[in-house]
Amino acid sequence: MISNVRARVLPSSQRRSLDELTEDLILSCGDTTAKRSAFWTMLTLSSVIAAGGVLTDSTATVIGAMIIAPLSTPIMGIALGSVQRRRTGSVMVVLLACVLVIAIGMAMSLALPSNYDLLSNSQISSRTSPDLMDLIAALATGLAGAVALARRDVAAVLPGVAIAISLVPPLVVVGVCLGKLSGWLSLGALALFLSNLFALVFAGMLVFASLGYGTETDKAAGRPARSASAAMALLFVVVLIPLTANTVATLLLNAWTGRTKEAAQQWLTDDPGASVTSVDANSRTMYIHVRTPRELPPVQSLLDRLDGQIPDGIPVVVDASRGRRINAGKVGG
């Protein structure tokens, strides 16, 4: 059955040879001077472009940086080397590349004012709170990328893979956040990068091994495969813990936000012209945005409705459409 699936996913007529794959993914093979020059030049330029897109909150610019960023090449080289059980130097290339991209992000963060709110930038906020869905999407993207690399006829999908899996932008965000001394946000962006790194290497190892690239080399050479497996297991644990914790926190926050909105709507039931436009959770505070032509009802009744629906001690702020803001107090206080 496995052979049938392999034949359907990668027909022998479209299968690239191991030499071709090695030439594309391993920088230490072939014309190393030219390959390394192209890699570091494009990585530097893509990092500057990504940093410019992040700082200006420009999605189009960040996408452009994703397309030309070559970081997925040595990452897939790690996968191929692990399957072949040999050292390729790809791990060191990836580590040095990460340092370079983060340094560029830190340097360009100097352009931001000292009081800049990082979370007001969608390019930053969207990359500092990853969850399990990011990992699932990255795994699917990694599988698509590995299959595209192994087949001659679907190479056109690789730009889409480069856009779908974010590598350089989260590293730039790590640098920007470090430059603004925001350690927790930088850790969030680093978790996103590590989850994408794990997804690419794992998917690459899975595809390359199942397609038989590992059987074409001397398996007695190099380090045993269990070393790569142990490293992948450790990386998986490192990635899974924060992503799971953030997923749980997000689900709880969504539940609390929904309960707050429902309680606020009940609070305004006696005012036919009033409505709740939105409820946001920011800086451990619930912000309830309402629209009303008249004075708001007593806020204590709102706090009473929220008692037991959200954790005690959470501050509640009501923003009215007429520019009035009421600090309602803390739930359970």
Q: Are residues 213 and 283 in the same domain?
A: no
For the chain, counts of helices (H) and of strands (E): 13, 4
49 and 184 inside one domain: yes
Is pLDDT of 313 > 70?
Answer: yes
Asked if residue 241 is part of any domain, the answer here is: no
**322 beta partners:** none
| Residues 103 and 21 reside in one and the same domain | yes
Domain membership flag for residue 113 = yes
Per-residue model confidence (pLDDT) at position 332: 66
* Three-state DSSP state, 320: strand
For range 83-90, the mean pLDDT: 83
Q: Is residue 248 part of a domain?
A: no
What's the mean per-residue pLDDT of the chain?
83
Q: How confident is the model at residue 41 (pLDDT cuts 50, 70, 90)?
A: very high
> What range defines the domain where residue 263 resides?
256-330
Statement to judge: residues 154 and 217 lie in one domain: yes
Rounded to whole angstroms, the Cα distance separating 94 from 90 reads 6
Coil, strand or helix at 222: coil
pLDDT score recorded for residue 308: 83
Domain match, 168 and 304 both: no
pLDDT in tens, 146-200: 888 888 777 666 666 777 788 999 999 999 999 999 888 899 999 999 999 998 9
Can you read off the two tokens belonging to residue 104? 């560029």
Phi, psi of 101 (to 5 degrees): -65, -45
Domain contains 39: yes
Going along the chain, which residue ranges are E strands? 275-282, 285-291, 315-320, 325-330
The domain tally of the chain equals 2
Distance CA 88, CA 90 (A): 5
Residues 134, 18 share a domain:
yes
User: In this predicted structure, what is the pLDDT of residue 177?
Assistant: 94
Q: pLDDT band for position 220 (50/70/90)?
A: very low
Mean pLDDT of 238-265: 86
The residue out of 202, 223, 244 marking a domain boundary is: 223
Q: How far is CA 68 from CA 42, 64, 73, 183, in A?
A: 7, 7, 11, 28
Q: Average the pLDDT over each of 30-44, 206-220, 297-311 and give the range with the smallest value.
A: 206-220
Q: What is the distance between the alpha carbons of residues 109 and 180, in angstroms, rounded to a whole number?
A: 7
pLDDT for 272 equals 76
Angle made by CA atoms 158, 162, 164, in degrees to the nearest 5: 110
Contacts of 261 (CB under 8 A, 6+ apart): 276, 278, 279, 288
Asked whether residue 214 is domain-assigned, the answer is yes
Q: Same domain for 24 and 162?
A: yes
Q: Do 286 and 199 belong to one domain?
A: no
Specify the pLDDT at position 274. 80
Same domain, 10 and 118: yes
In a domain, 237, yes or no: no
292 and 147 in a common domain: no
Bridge partners of 320, per DSSP, are: 290
Asked if residue 136 is part of any domain, the answer here is yes
223 pLDDT above the threshold of 50: no
